[in-house]
Amino acid sequence: MLYIIGLGLADERDISTKGLEIVRKADRVYLEAYTAVLLVEKEQLESYYGRSIIIADREMVESSSDEILANADAVDVAFLVVGDPFSATTHTDFVLRCRQHEPPIPTRTLPNASILTAVGATGLSLYNFGQTVSMVFFTDDWRPDSFYNRIRENADLGFHTLVLLDIKVKEPDLKAMARGKIIYEPPRFMTVAQCASQMIEVEEARAGNVCNKEKLAIGVARLGSEGEQIVAGTLEELTQADLGKPLHSLVLCGKTMHEMEWEFARGYAVDQAKFDEIWKRDYGIQK
Amino acid sequence: MLYIIGLGLADERDISTKGLEIVRKADRVYLEAYTAVLLVEKEQLESYYGRSIIIADREMVESSSDEILANADAVDVAFLVVGDPFSATTHTDFVLRCRQHEPPIPTRTLPNASILTAVGATGLSLYNFGQTVSMVFFTDDWRPDSFYNRIRENADLGFHTLVLLDIKVKEPDLKAMARGKIIYEPPRFMTVAQCASQMIEVEEARAGNVCNKEKLAIGVARLGSEGEQIVAGTLEELTQADLGKPLHSLVLCGKTMHEMEWEFARGYAVDQAKFDEIWKRDYGIQK
């Protein structure tokens, strides 16, 4: 059996007690470490779980999964995933390959906390969210703005948008590669401030009044951990916000943001008077 | 400190190890038991946690929360919530009242699995979902159809819709009440079949081609538990599906349902040939 076990969001103790029992008994334990990361190192997991853990990078999961699945029709293999297993398409694809494997590998999935619902800690109702979008690091020659249309679809319906921020782990250094060496760049995690800046930049080019400087937004960092941090303000204010260590996410508020959502979120405002003024002027609209 | 601890979806062992430590040390332990229910009885939780648990019904949480919060600025109180704490607005409101309490009660929330992401077990990508809707039990004189407009908003954008199904726990028996007695009706949980029937009924009245008999949908039951069950088919087929014990939910598929989603979901189809035919005819549309 392949057990795909969600680890939740923060540290080694967010695993369920059911998940921990499986990890302790499994024949081999893998940790998928490229679609998301925990806030603690692998060694801390190993010490708490009492097991050594094999890191599964993108190449291993997407191209060499035979190694992970070896003998998994006969023995139990634990495949650990940060957050909730099905929050990344790559794990759905992985389960599909297990089904099509010869012999088929039975799978069982243990759900856990995901940023998609933990974002409710902002006070925004999960029922008022539209589709989730991703924001990638802009480079000099690659500044994809397809997120803009998706946010606009949500905004037209008055919905909030959760924006998931890019992480780069184990990215090859292209210059070193050109010299025939494989060196990995240090990991990078997009901040709330970087995301807010990129949104404003695209708004300036597209001018659709979707994510301009005065839109209200909420930045979150390390949700579900003891050091979680939440900052609310205009997108412009958030370009100056420092939410500390990764992981960060951002929510752009939709026009229907109702009174209780506002009352909760204003507790996190950089400038409460400004937050209140803009909310009263532009938000709280009933559909 | 008031700890609001998500229990996940299935049984007593879906709590995180961090949550369990808090429960074991807390001064008092409450279980919120009206917005959702676990698949096991309170006694099973008490035995595994080694603590006695006080059931908090709607009246206690929404009107008499002083009892729960008594002394919580000085001692630790654990408030257990099925699923993820912020998936129900009532818990957001509860945190807000803690902040406004005199003296203020510090809170900490431990996220956990929610149906909102566990539904990824269907193979449908969470990034292709629009807003979530709720379906209540129709009665002779109350057949609310506001869900229809919300599903249409999603459908217009090609999105899937997660439909959460009504549960009735501790509902007063109105006839007994009229005789001055307080008797509670036995708990009721809507099934996938009932939901599919209600959707088709409203479609017949509204005729907007939003949830007619031939739309593809996926019913799920007891997600995250060992006995989880998933059935895919047309809405008409799902009116005949028996997914057994609660809790059930239903997903209405959106037109953008892409190839990998189809390939995964067809594994659960009542009638695979029909599922394939309809998908090829009406779905897989690129935005």
Rounded Cα distance between B271 and A204, Å, is 50
The count of other CB atoms within 10 Å of the CB of residue B15 is 25
Asked if the Cβ–Cβ distance from B129 to A131 is below 8 Å, we say yes
Q: Which pLDDT value is given to residue B236? A: 98
Q: What is the pLDDT of residue A184?
A: 86
Separation of alpha carbons A85 and A114, rounded Å: 9
Which of B113, B116, B126 minimises the CB distance to A126? B116
pLDDT tier at B62 (50, 70, 90 boundaries)? confident
Interface contact flag, A15 B16, Cβ < 8 Å: yes
**Which residue reads 């650990």 in tokens?**
A80
**Which pLDDT does position B171 carry in this prediction?**
80
Instruction: Give the tens place of pLDDT for each residue, B182-219.
Output: 888 888 999 999 999 999 999 999 999 999 999 999 99
Per-position DSSP letters for chain B, written without gaps between them: -EEEEE-BSSSGGGSBHHHHHHHHH-SEEEEE-SS---SS-HHHHHHHHTS--EEE-HHHHHT-HHHHHTTTTTS-EEEEESB-GGGSHHHHHHHHHHHHSSSPPPEEEE----HHHHGGGGS--GGGB---EEEPPPBTTB---HHHHHHHHHHHTT-BEEEEEPEE-S-B-HHHHHTT---BPPPEE--HHHHHHHHHHHHHHH-SSSS-TT-EEEEEESTTSTT-EEEEEEHHHHTT----SSPEEEEEPPTT--HHHHHHHGGGBSSHHHHHHHHHHH-----
Lowest mean pLDDT across A170-184, B4-18, B245-259: A170-184
pLDDT score of B170 more than 80:
no
Give the span between the Cα atoms of B207 and A48, in whole angstroms.
57
Are the beta carbons of B11 and B38 closer than 8 angstroms? yes
Contact list in A for residue B108 (CB cut-off 8 A) is: 226
Q: Do A110 and B224 touch (CB under 8 A)?
A: yes
Q: What pLDDT is stored for residue A98 in this prediction?
A: 95
Averaged pLDDT, B83-107: 92
DSSP A3: E
- Stretch B145-173: mean pLDDT, rounded? 93
Mean pLDDT of the region A151-177: 91
The pLDDT-based confidence of B43 (bands split at 50, 70, 90) is: very high
- For A157, the closest of B14, B116, B153 (CB atoms) is B153
Length of chain B: 287
One DSSP character per residue, B89-126 reads HHHHHHHHHHHHSSSPPPEEEE----HHHHGGGGS--G
Question: Hey, are the CB atoms on B96 and A129 less than 8 Å from each other?
Answer: no
pLDDT exceeding 70 applies to what percent of chain A? Answer: 100
Is the pLDDT reported for residue B22 higher than 90? yes
Nearest in space to A37 (alpha carbons), one of A138, A168, A134, A137: A168
Q: What are phi and psi of B144, to 5 degrees?
A: -65, 135
- Least Cα separation, residue B131 to chain A (angstroms): 5
Report d(CA B133, CA B99) in Å as an integer.
29
pLDDT at A1 over 80: yes
Is the Cβ–Cβ distance between B213 and B166 less than 8 Å? no
CA angle, corner A283, sides to A144 and A287, nearest 5? 95
A116's tokens:
């998609």
Residue A81 reports pLDDT greater than 90: yes
Enter the ipTM.
0.93
Whether A110 sits inside 8 A of B13 (CB atoms) is no
pLDDT in the model for residue A142? 94
Test the A interface: residue of B7, B86, B222 with most A CBs within 10 Å: B86
Percent of chain B with pLDDT over 70: 100
Taking contacts as CB-CB distances below 8 angstroms, the residues of chain A near B131 are: 127-130, 157, 159
In this prediction, residues A129-157 reach a mean pLDDT of 96
Residue with tokens 């990824």: B120
Tell me the three state secondary structure of residue A14. helix
Residue B182: the pLDDT is: 84
Mean pLDDT for B54-63 is 88
The answer to whether A223 is a known ligand-binding residue is: yes
pLDDT at A286: 81
Given this model, what pLDDT does residue B176 score?
85
pLDDT attached to residue B88 = 82
pLDDT of residue A161: 98
Per-residue pLDDT, A52: 97
Chain B nearest C-alpha distance from A150 (Å): 10
List residues forming the annotated binding site of B for S-adenosyl-L-methionine: 9, 84, 114-115, 165, 223, 248
The answer to whether the CB atoms of B127 and A226 lie below 8 A apart is no
pLDDT band at B25 (very low <50, low <70, confident <90, very high): very high
Residue B156 · residue A125 · CB < 8 Å: no
pLDDT category of residue B263 using cuts at 50, 70 and 90: very high
Lowest mean per-residue pLDDT among A41-55, A160-174, A184-198, B258-272: A160-174
- Find the residue in B nearest to A157 (Cα): B153
Report the distance separating Cα A56 and Cα A6, nearest Å: 15
pLDDT class of A87 with cuts at 50, 70, 90: confident
Please indicate whether residue A144 or residue B181 has the higher confidence score (pLDDT). Answer: A144
Contact assignment for A87 to B117 by CB distance below 8 Å: yes
Percent of chain B whose pLDDT exceeds 90: 83
Higher pLDDT residue, B39 or A218?
Answer: A218
Q: How far apart are CA A145 and CA B13, in angstroms?
A: 43
Q: What is the residue extent of each domain of chain A?
A: 2-113, 116-284
What is the average pLDDT across A163-191?
A: 88
- CATH assignment of B2-113, given 3.90.1150.10, 1.10.8.10, 1.20.58.410, 3.40.1010.10? 3.40.1010.10
- Level-2 CATH architecture, domain B116-284: 2-Layer Sandwich (3.30)
